[in-house]
Amino acid sequence: MNATPAEPVTWPSGKRAAACFTFDVDAESAILNVDAAHGDRMSVMSHQAYGPLVGVPRLLTLLARHDVRSTFFVPGYTAVRYPDVVRAIADAGHEIAHHGYLHEVLTGKSPEEEARILDRGSEALAALTGEAPVGYRAPMWELNWHSPTLLADRGFLYDTSLMDADHPYELRVGEHGQLVEIPVQWALDDWEQYCYLPEISGSGLIESPRKAAEIWRLEFEGLRSVGGCFVLTNHPFLSGRPSRAAALEELVEHVVSCSDVWVAPLRDIALHVRGLGLTPRSIIRPDPADF
Amino acid sequence: MNATPAEPVTWPSGKRAAACFTFDVDAESAILNVDAAHGDRMSVMSHQAYGPLVGVPRLLTLLARHDVRSTFFVPGYTAVRYPDVVRAIADAGHEIAHHGYLHEVLTGKSPEEEARILDRGSEALAALTGEAPVGYRAPMWELNWHSPTLLADRGFLYDTSLMDADHPYELRVGEHGQLVEIPVQWALDDWEQYCYLPEISGSGLIESPRKAAEIWRLEFEGLRSVGGCFVLTNHPFLSGRPSRAAALEELVEHVVSCSDVWVAPLRDIALHVRGLGLTPRSIIRPDPADF
Amino acid sequence: MNATPAEPVTWPSGKRAAACFTFDVDAESAILNVDAAHGDRMSVMSHQAYGPLVGVPRLLTLLARHDVRSTFFVPGYTAVRYPDVVRAIADAGHEIAHHGYLHEVLTGKSPEEEARILDRGSEALAALTGEAPVGYRAPMWELNWHSPTLLADRGFLYDTSLMDADHPYELRVGEHGQLVEIPVQWALDDWEQYCYLPEISGSGLIESPRKAAEIWRLEFEGLRSVGGCFVLTNHPFLSGRPSRAAALEELVEHVVSCSDVWVAPLRDIALHVRGLGLTPRSIIRPDPADF
Amino acid sequence: MNATPAEPVTWPSGKRAAACFTFDVDAESAILNVDAAHGDRMSVMSHQAYGPLVGVPRLLTLLARHDVRSTFFVPGYTAVRYPDVVRAIADAGHEIAHHGYLHEVLTGKSPEEEARILDRGSEALAALTGEAPVGYRAPMWELNWHSPTLLADRGFLYDTSLMDADHPYELRVGEHGQLVEIPVQWALDDWEQYCYLPEISGSGLIESPRKAAEIWRLEFEGLRSVGGCFVLTNHPFLSGRPSRAAALEELVEHVVSCSDVWVAPLRDIALHVRGLGLTPRSIIRPDPADF
């Protein structure tokens, strides 16, 4: 046994790193999936609805102001509940990608159950945008070992849920398949900084946008210096609030001003990586016989 | 289905945003409602009593110093236990609004139970001030889907417990009713920053008044810039402590110095909104059949 | 019913506020009382032993450097396990006060059980110092409603476990008794800022000494401005660490430099308050019939 | 009974303090030991794999840049799964020390079980490096009272899991044995600042590298001033991330620039201490009969 790291990638001419500001439009899904009974709590539902109703329009304007195209991960139920919002995202030139139907956390799910969820989510998005999504992000970034096969079988180009590299790679799937993997990390997520929903989520503390933006900017500079891919994950129900959007905008402004950084939707980044013809890499599942 | 955002509102002439410094005088209620046995803990009770006994007088002086009229949400039991304190608030020109009788969290309560609590709270306040409250804030901001009807039936003008907009709107209630809704948000609350009561509440961490005030000021500027309504929620047993009151006062001073911001009690803000003749907006309850 | 606040106190001539840097020498007690089985964990015990072995000597030197006399709350078991350490505290001119025998949290304890603990703790201290302690601090600041009577019956001069005022007062005990109460508050404690013991205590986060010292200094200035009594609580196993002691020393230096602040052991502060001849104040226990 | 503190130590000529930047290469072990079922979570495993695959190479380069030799604590399973990575650490001149086989937390384990784990871990490391480790760090720093005997019986030179001093000492083991103990502390660990794994570990908050580095630098200065030994613990799956490594590098740079501080692997520090001929010190286990 000898697990090996992802080999480095090159970026388009003149660029030494890449970046994408991604948004998970979880809205009610992430909460209803924890417990459908939370749907009985009008205030909790209104807290989540802020995302598509107020956060998304604000963030679309913000991205347009800096000419940034991005990737939005949309649970199928969000598309059913807010079709106009999701259409507006697509119409603004952003990528719509897969994030489950009801933000189903996949830990413990069988391949059959997971397949049903994948198909239901794809259908909900395709019904709205006219095309099936090619990018996938597992809710809570919880991929099962069988997930990559399910994704490859359905023609997905990329996944963005793993955490073992600073930049994308080709993931070996089965014997002949492959999937571009664009890694993420918990420090580049707004949930841990901002989310508080009593008895549902959060440590109970809420951080200042200055602190969140400091972490993200430091890691952006870190990833930039190593030729990595900066993938930030924001939730419109959190980072759509005015002061958080303002802090995010300062970061967007800075990143866009770095001429050595390629800012693009994840689909474009994945296509670029696919074009590099990398040798797919295997991730070795820990074998209980070894421990 | 297509949930839609609240339409923008206009503010009184010359103003582009509104602000209210609200106070929840929970005192013992919020803790006794978690578990009546906490009443056996003398120190815990004294921690809560700090609010009406020391915090409220200090905050009343602070508000008077800046000529700010505000809204105090008072559980009925607080009015029974501290009648002089509640009278002093009213005498200083502030609005006394409804916050349950014993800070009852309404999740899972039937309309009948909730109605009894509403009436008991109103009676306790009216017995003291001579008039029934017209504003309501659900304990823990936990409104049920049936709550707006109960409030409208009782003649309430406004509620301030939902979180799906940056500014007030008219909420459609039943077929013909309406209620002004003035949204709140968790980041504009002092509980998450300051509260620690072992085995009762809090993450265990306590933040600096500087950090709390930074979050609130950033969000004030954010809401100001989008024409929103800044509703800050402080608890006298927390923010009545000297250094926290001092940090709050700096913020009050700043907000009052912004000539484009209308600082007023929530009742005045609600009356202004009512006068705009907005079309009431419906909030669509998630239908389990869709997920 | 109409609970009333503590009346203001005056301080010795030329002083407008008071301050005491108190230390709870919990050592192993606070952990063994949670679960005696923690005594089987050698590392956990060593973490607590740092307090008397390293923290106390460092803090004694620090206090001596600024000529500050203070109050140390010592569980009886700490006196049994570290007699030389406790003697060194007394020899340096500091007050030794009561903090239970094994840091027993008193919630739910009967008066008889509590009496036994009180007596056992007093005996352990008296055996070492030759005099019974006159000051008491309940472990976890958890006083029962019957505790003041038990304390007064045993001749205690003061307690420092309640939280409903910015300064000391005379607490009415029974019909004719009284006890000086010197209030504390959670924000003036180092446990919430620094303590982390896996599966035993702490949120899991550990704060910087700069942040802790900022909170304490802001509240010192706040209490100073209102004529209050600043009572800081530090634990030698936490604040005895070098960088935390350094941050504490900066604060001590500042407080001592304020000529309008009277820095004294709590016993001296209690004696001063006793000398004022205040009318004892009652704290009204919440009556379940009212809620 | 009278537990006594560790006597001071002297450092090599011209040095008044010592420092070591240690790394725990827990990788998958620390998580699999919590629950082997976490091995089914591909994303969680990839989060841990970041340590050996990306973090370790980055940190080795960082240490080489400043000519710092260090100590890496490697669970046996990490050596089995990543032999090339562990060999690279040893080849770079760093010490490979013992950290269990699967990061087994030893609380409640019998001496026989613990012995089996110790031997299994040593064999896994020796198979790779050709020599048995002489240094030991208990997973979660949880030493049992019987652990020192087990370590001394197996020829270990030092342990680094206790917390009752600012500098190393000779620990009395049984009647005639001894073990150098190099104390640690929770504030000098990156886990509390950075780790978040949903439902597995972490408070839910993630701190900025600036805040973590501030705590560590303040404590370094504190320990330096008292002649102590600064032992920082970083986990490559956490502090191997670019911005955290950058913050760590600033600290390394500073520490190395202090000519009065001896930076060395823990083995060298332990050998130095052994050479001082200190009288071994006993730690007295709390006796339930006393409480």
D16 φ, ψ (degrees, to nearest 5): -115, -5
Interface contact flag, B285 A243, Cβ < 8 Å: no
What pLDDT sits at residue B273?
98
Does a structural domain hold residue C115?
Answer: yes
Does a structural domain hold residue D267?
Answer: yes
Task: Out of C80, C210, C243, name the one closest to residue D222 (CB).
Answer: C243
User: How remote is the C-alpha of A259 from its chain's centroid?
Assistant: 24
- Tally the domains of chain C: 1
Best to test chain B binding among C16, C114, C164 (most B CBs inside 10 Å): C164
Q: Is pLDDT above 90 for A201?
A: no
Task: Out of C53, C242, C245, name the one closest to residue D3 (CB).
Answer: C53
Burial class (CB in 10 A: 0-12, 13-18, 19+), A14: exposed
Closest by Cα among A225, A205, A160 to A21: A160
Interface contact flag, D143 C43, Cβ < 8 Å: yes
Question: Which run of H or E residues covers position A184?
Answer: none
Task: Out of B49, B198, B204, name the one closest to residue C3 (CB).
Answer: B49
CB pairs below 8 Å between C and D: how many?
Answer: 136
pLDDT > 70 in chain C, percent: 99
Q: How far off is chain C from D88, nearest CA to CA, in Å?
A: 31
Interface contact flag, C77 D291, Cβ < 8 Å: yes
What pLDDT sits at residue A120?
98
Sole residue written with tokens 């537990």: D3
B2 — pLDDT class (breaks 50, 70, 90): low
Between the alpha carbon of residue D48 and those of residues D41, D84, D96, D187, the distances in Å are 11, 17, 19, 22
Searching chain B, which residue's CA lies closest to the CA of residue C108?
A: B40
Q: Is pLDDT above 80 for B149?
A: yes
Listed in sequence order, the residues at least 6 apart from D199 whose beta carbon sits closer than 8 Å to its beta carbon are none
A60 — pLDDT class (breaks 50, 70, 90): very high
Does a structural domain hold residue C259?
Answer: yes
Tokens of D241: 């991330």
B202 — pLDDT class (breaks 50, 70, 90): confident
**CA dihedral of A78, A83, A89, A94, whole degrees rounded to 10:** 70
A205-229 core/surface letters (b: 16 or more CB in 10 A; e: else): bbbbbebbbbbbbbbbbbbbebbbb
Q: How far off is chain A from D122, nearest CA to CA, in Å?
A: 14
What pLDDT sits at residue C3?
80
Interface contact flag, A47 B3, Cβ < 8 Å: no
What pLDDT sits at residue A202?
80
Interface contact flag, D45 A285, Cβ < 8 Å: yes
Greatest CA separation for chain D: 55
Residue C101 CA to residue C203 CA, distance in Å, equals 26
Task: Out of B138, B202, B214, name the one closest to residue A210 (CB).
Answer: B214
Q: Which chains touch A (3 or more CB pairs under 8 A)?
A: B, D
D49 — pLDDT class (breaks 50, 70, 90): very high
Q: Which chain C residues are within 8 Å of D144, Cβ to Cβ?
A: 40-42
Interface contact flag, A283 D82, Cβ < 8 Å: no
Q: Which chain B residues are within 8 Å of A53, Cβ to Cβ?
A: 3-6, 164-165
Burial class (CB in 10 A: 0-12, 13-18, 19+), C122: buried
Residue D276 CA to residue D274 CA, distance in Å, equals 5
Q: How far off is chain D from A182, nearest CA to CA, in Å?
A: 12
Average pLDDT of chain A to the nearest whole number: 97
pLDDT > 90 in chain B, percent: 96
Interface contact flag, B210 C228, Cβ < 8 Å: no
Beta bridge partners of B21: B232
Task: Out of B5, B143, B284, name the one closest to residue A43 (CB).
Answer: B143
Q: Which chains touch D (3 or more CB pairs under 8 A)?
A: A, C
pLDDT tens for A207-226 read 999 999 999 999 999 999 99
B199 — pLDDT class (breaks 50, 70, 90): confident
Strands (DSSP E) contained in A14-167 are 17-24, 71-74, 95-98, 135-136, 158-159
| Cα angle, residue A105 at apex, residues A100 and A110 outer, rounded to 5° | 90
Residue D12 CA to residue D170 CA, distance in Å, equals 17
pTM, to two decimals: 0.98
Interface contact flag, D80 A222, Cβ < 8 Å: no
C201 — pLDDT class (breaks 50, 70, 90): confident
CB pairs below 8 Å between A and B: how many?
Answer: 134
Between the alpha carbon of residue D233 and those of residues C71, D25, D97, D104, the distances in Å are 35, 10, 13, 18
- Find out whether A291 and D77 touch, Cβ atoms under 8 Å: yes
pLDDT tens for A155-188 read 999 999 999 999 999 999 998 999 999 999 999 9
- Find out whether A150 and A113 touch, Cβ atoms under 8 Å: no
Residue C19 CA to residue B99 CA, distance in Å, equals 37
Q: Which chain D residues are within 8 Å of C247, Cβ to Cβ?
A: 218
Beta bridge partners of B177: B173
Tokens of D54: 């990306």
Question: D182-185: which pairs have CB atoms within 8 A and are 24 or more residues apart?
Answer: D182/D20, D182/D158, D182/D229, D182/D231, D182/D266, D182/D269, D182/D270, D182/D273, D183/C46, D183/D229, D183/D231, D184/D137, D184/D141, D184/D160, D184/D231, D184/D233, D185/C47, D185/C50, D185/C241, D185/D219
Interface contact flag, C285 B209, Cβ < 8 Å: no
Burial class (CB in 10 A: 0-12, 13-18, 19+), C258: middle
Searching chain C, which residue's CA lies closest to the CA of residue B57?
A: C5
C284 — pLDDT class (breaks 50, 70, 90): very high
Residue A164 CA to residue A150 CA, distance in Å, equals 21
pLDDT tens for D220-261 read 999 999 999 999 999 999 999 999 999 999 999 999 999 999
Question: Which run of H or E residues covers position C231?
Answer: strand C229-234
- Find out whether A47 and B164 touch, Cβ atoms under 8 Å: yes
Burial class (CB in 10 A: 0-12, 13-18, 19+), B2: exposed
Average pLDDT of chain D to the nearest whole number: 97
What pLDDT sits at residue D199?
87
Residue B207 CA to residue B220 CA, distance in Å, equals 19
pLDDT tens for C107-154 read 999 999 999 999 999 999 999 999 999 999 999 999 999 999 999 999
Residue B94 CA to residue B92 CA, distance in Å, equals 6
Q: Which chain A residues are within 8 Å of B288, Cβ to Cβ?
A: 36, 39
Q: How far off is chain B from C65, nearest CA to CA, in Å?
A: 28
Q: Mean pLDDT, to the nearest integer, of C73-102?
A: 98
Residue A240 CA to residue A228 CA, distance in Å, equals 26
What pLDDT sits at residue C258?
98
Q: How far off is chain A from B63, nearest CA to CA, in Å?
A: 25
Tokens of D270: 């332990």
3-state secondary structure of C287: coil
Interface contact flag, A40 B144, Cβ < 8 Å: yes
Interface contact flag, C187 B241, Cβ < 8 Å: yes
Burial class (CB in 10 A: 0-12, 13-18, 19+), D291: buried
Q: How far off is chain D from A64, nearest CA to CA, in Å?
A: 29
**CA dihedral of D145, D149, D150, D152, whole degrees rounded to 10:** 140
Q: How far off is chain A from B19, nearest CA to CA, in Å?
A: 15
Interface contact flag, B193 A208, Cβ < 8 Å: no
Q: Is pLDDT above 80 for B219?
A: yes
Residue A267 CA to residue A95 CA, distance in Å, equals 7
Task: Out of B41, B198, B246, name the one closest to residue C222 (CB).
Answer: B246
- Find out whether C136 and C120 touch, Cβ atoms under 8 Å: no
Half-sphere exposure of C65 (CA within 13 A, CB side): 13
3-state secondary structure of B91: helix
Is beta strand B169-173 parallel, antiparallel or unpaired with respect to B177-181? antiparallel
Listed in sequence order, the residues at least 6 apart from C58 whose beta carbon sits closer than 8 Å to its beta carbon are C240, C242, C245, D226
pLDDT tens for B39-98 read 999 999 999 999 999 999 999 999 999 999 999 999 999 999 999 999 999 999 999 999
Q: Which chain C residues are within 8 Å of D6, Cβ to Cβ?
A: 53
Interface contact flag, C286 B43, Cβ < 8 Å: no
What pLDDT sits at residue B8?
93
pLDDT tens for D174-216 read 999 999 999 999 999 999 999 999 888 887 899 999 999 999 9
Task: Out of D138, D166, D183, name the one closest to residue C242 (CB).
Answer: D166
Does a structural domain hold residue C150?
Answer: yes
Q: Mean pLDDT, to the nearest integer, of B246-250?
A: 98
Does a structural domain hold residue D118?
Answer: yes
Q: Is pLDDT above 70 for A2?
A: no
Tokens of C247: 């941050």
| Least confident segment among A132-141, A201-210, B239-248 | A201-210
In chain D, what are the helix, strand and coil shares in percent, each to the nearest 5? Answer: 45, 15, 40
Q: Which chain C residues are within 8 Å of D202, Cβ to Cβ?
A: 204
Q: How far off is chain D from C74, nearest CA to CA, in Å?
A: 14
Task: Out of D205, D221, D286, name the one closest to residue C205 (CB).
Answer: D205
Does a structural domain hold residue B281?
Answer: no
What is the sign, positive or negative, of the torsion defined by CA atoms of D64, D69, D73, D77?
Answer: positive
- Find out whether D157 and D271 touch, Cβ atoms under 8 Å: yes
- Find out whether A160 and A2 touch, Cβ atoms under 8 Å: no
Q: Which chain D residues are within 8 Å of A214, Cβ to Cβ?
A: 208, 210
Searching chain B, which residue's CA lies closest to the CA of residue C290?
A: B77
3-state secondary structure of C211: helix
What pLDDT sits at residue A223?
98
Task: Out of C29, C43, C244, name the one closest to residue D162 (CB).
Answer: C43
Q: Which chain B residues are within 8 Å of C218, Cβ to Cβ?
A: 208-210, 243, 246-247
pLDDT tens for D1-26 read 568 899 999 999 999 999 999 999 99
Searching chain D, which residue's CA lies closest to the CA of residue C80?
A: D1
Interface contact flag, C84 D219, Cβ < 8 Å: no
Total count of residues recorded for chain C = 291
Closest by Cα among D165, D99, D164 to D136: D99
What pLDDT sits at residue B3?
80
What is the sign, positive or negative, of the torsion defined by CA atoms of B151, B155, B161, B162?
Answer: positive
Searching chain D, which residue's CA lies closest to the CA of residue A138?
A: D43
Best to test chain A binding among D50, D77, D208 (most A CBs inside 10 Å): D208
Domain boundaries, position D185: 17-276
Residue D262 CA to residue D264 CA, distance in Å, equals 6
Query: The CATH number of the domain where A165 resides is what?
Result: 3.20.20.370
Average pLDDT of chain C to the nearest whole number: 97
